[in-house]
Amino acid sequence: MCGIAGYISKESVHNSAISSMAKTIEHRGPDDEGFVFANLENQKHRTFSSEKSPASVRNNYDVLNEDGIVPAHHLAMAQVRYSIIDLSAHGHQPMWSVCGRYCITFNGEIYNYIELRNQLRAVGRVFHTKSDTEVLLQAYVEWGDKLFEHLNGFFAFAIYDIERKEVLLGRDRLGKAHLYLTQGTEKVYWASEIKALITAGQVDKHAINTASVTDFLIFGRRDRDGTFWDGVLDFPPGHYAWVGRSCKIQPVRYWSMPTDRKSIRDISFNEATTGLRELLIDSLDLRLRADVPIGFELSGGMDSAAMVGLATGAMGRKVQTYTIKFAEAHSDEEPYARSVAQLYPELIEYTVIRPPQEEFWNNADRFVWEQEEPFHSPNLHTSQSMQRLIKDCGAHVVISGAAGDEMLGGYAIDYMAPYLRHLLGTGDISGMLNTIKNSTEFTPFQAIKGLLLDTLISPEQRTIWGKRKTGENGILRKILDQSIWNECENISFLNNNENNFHSRTMANMTHRLMNYWLRSGMKSSYGIPIESRAPFLDYRVVEYCTTLPPEYLIHGGWHKYVLRKAVEPFLPPEVVWRRKKMGFPFPYREWLSKSKKTVIKNINGLECPYIDKLAFLNHYDDLAKLAPISLWRMISLLLWWRRVIDAREILK
């Protein structure tokens, strides 16, 4: 887990922005730093180390002086390192191939690097380090841009090929690793974070994508592809592209989400259960590879408990777990987590931590800067604070249960209606009635009402109608600029093609949910830094789960039924068969009322074109009671404007 940055220019340049780009993302890689400059005409290049680099690296490469002169070049690449695999200086980047033709900068982890290294050795490749970076580089040397089909992990990388005079950019299948671009006729820049592109002077900070702002403020969505800036591109997951001095980028897709599901005639439930269990065990086994301590998040919910149960009960591994204990009884899952730990007392080191009491505002300046785009909840900062406590306890990597809900029909509000339509479409009326009657999440009336609404109108339409019904819409009309409402007309029917079960899953695994969860969650982790690994996001698990029959995901009213059965032998029944999930608490109304004075201080003198500040302040208290989440989203936008657009410190 690291950070990368780079650029390629049509004409030779003598001064470089690469050191300032690397400094901007140095929080992602506190252990090492390196640079390379290449002249594409004469094929000469020069590699530099950093003051942060180990002594042995500095002995091999000159230290780049931030204010110094650099060689004339068309290409510059940088990497900041957070050491997880092969902690020695041999893992330094940029890393050159032994033949001297190829150079790589890489952010991420290749979990199956041991298998790939053995495979490459069998065809004559020789290795000089124990790092997954060298495995990735040798995989390219052997397979070229066909290497992606061999990789299991998360990654964003740039490989310079001297003879091609081009750079290969690649991103993992699901987009867990970030990679942003700016493209002009004379230069292309890329980086792990947008702020590095801003530092390089490549972003018009006021060229805002109004559709993204509208999606965020009105519809509660974060992604429709792209970013909050018109000029900043989000390099698409599951793609690669060659970039040369022409500065043209044509991404090539190498992986896609499954397009079809199996039926119950194609696979038995027992086969589905066994197959899921075996895949999760193998995925988890790969993600337990590290040369630093690994911890497990154990919330007491199904997904994180599944990871701990499989690691201990199925694999016999000793693990360190971390559980958060909340004071609020309605949100405290610690007793469930404890029941998992008590099942394997000799294998589980059980640590309970409590949510930090620090105020959001004490760290808002740095956190908003780390997120670099508006974010959905102050709770995201709470999550980071808890991961920081886990890091303080000694873990450098943490295993989470993220993505189980999105893939396996876990969100009842999203999946119940499409599932009922699926049963209706297959003629399984008895199954449909049984699901409505026995739902663990809804009353029969709620299930039928949800089915009708989800069938007749899009989620965006329901959002608008809901705001009208409560009176929120009238208040927002006074606060938000007309450009927001103009955009509403363009996007209010976008999700009509996401009504069947599979398309809803695909949407949630991409633009509706997963893109944002990965973006915001990973940036929180990188801000510490700590590496978060999610076995559910192994592409093989994703392909498997998203092709299972819907009847195996929801059964007898139970959501994620196939997962429950897959891990049932390894977990207490009170965890497997809990009827209600607990939320992650955040007292919006109380917090917003308490924060009003701080909000006023921070918007003073702010000129954000999307929000009428006077109307915002006049209706602050009304929204805190009526629509606290909408109020927070406006605050998040204003804080982003202050810290990122205006580059002004956020006040406590």
pLDDT range class, residue 93, cuts 50, 70, 90: very high
pLDDT beyond 70 at 381: yes
Q: Residue 120 — pLDDT band, cuts 50, 70, 90?
A: very high
Tell me if residue 473 falls in helix, strand or coil. Answer: helix
Q: Which band of pLDDT confidence, cut at 50, 70 and 90, is reported for residue 66?
A: low
**pLDDT in the model for residue 491:** 66
Tokens 């969650």 label which residue? 521
- The predicted structure's pLDDT at residue 164: 96
Give SS3 for 395.
Answer: coil
Q: Considering the chain, what percentage of its residues have pLDDT values greater than 90?
A: 88
Over residues 555-579, the mean pLDDT reads 96
Q: Is the pLDDT of residue 494 over 60?
A: no
Average pLDDT over residues 346-365: 90
CA atoms of 101 and 557, how far apart (whole Å): 58
Count the neighbouring beta carbons within 10 Å of the beta carbon of residue 308: 32
Q: Which residues contact 150 (CB under 8 A, 6 or more apart)?
A: 112, 116, 119, 139, 143
Kindly provide the residue ranges of all beta strands, DSSP E only, lying in 60-147, ordered along the sequence: 73-81, 95-96, 102-110
Residues 6+ apart with CB under 8 A from 248: none
Mean pLDDT, rounded, for 397-422:
96
pLDDT of residue 68: 64
Residue 29 has pLDDT above 70, yes or no: yes
In this prediction, residues 593-605 reach a mean pLDDT of 95
Percentage of residues in the chain having pLDDT higher than 70:
97
Q: What CA–CA distances, in Å, run from 344 to 36, 294, 351, 393, 567?
A: 50, 18, 14, 21, 15
> Is the model more confident about 631 or about 14?
631
Domains 2-253 and 269-407+512-576 share a fold: no
Over 70: is that where the pLDDT of 535 sits?
Answer: yes
Q: Lay out the sheet containing 32-39: strands in order across.
A: 44-48, 32-39, 73-81, 2-13, 187-191, 180-183, 233-234
User: For residue 431, which phi and psi values (nearest 5 degrees)?
Assistant: -65, -40
Sheet bearing 239-243, strands edge to edge: 95-96, 102-110, 153-161, 166-171, 239-243, 252-253
The whole-number pLDDT of residue 67 equals: 65
Average pLDDT over residues 319-344: 89
Rounded mean pLDDT, 550-578? 97
**Confidence at residue 489, expressed as pLDDT on a 0 to 100 scale:** 80
Whether the Cβ atoms of residue 303 and residue 333 lie closer than 8 Å to each other: no
CA separation, residue 343 to residues 225, 334, 336 (Å):
44, 14, 11
Q: End-to-end CA distance of the chain, in Å? A: 31
Confidence of residue 492 (pLDDT cuts 50, 70, 90): low
269-407+512-576: in CATH 3.30.365.10: no
pLDDT of residue 583 exceeding 90, the answer is no
Q: What angle do CA 117, 118, 122 make, to 5 degrees?
A: 115
Confidence of residue 586 (pLDDT cuts 50, 70, 90): confident
Report the pLDDT value the prediction gives residue 97, as an integer from 0 to 100: 96
CATH architecture of the domain covering 2-253: 4-Layer Sandwich (3.60)
Q: Residue range 492-509: average pLDDT?
A: 81
Domain positions in the chain: 2-253, 269-407+512-576, 471-485+587-652
Assign 326 a pLDDT band (cuts: 50, 70, 90).
confident
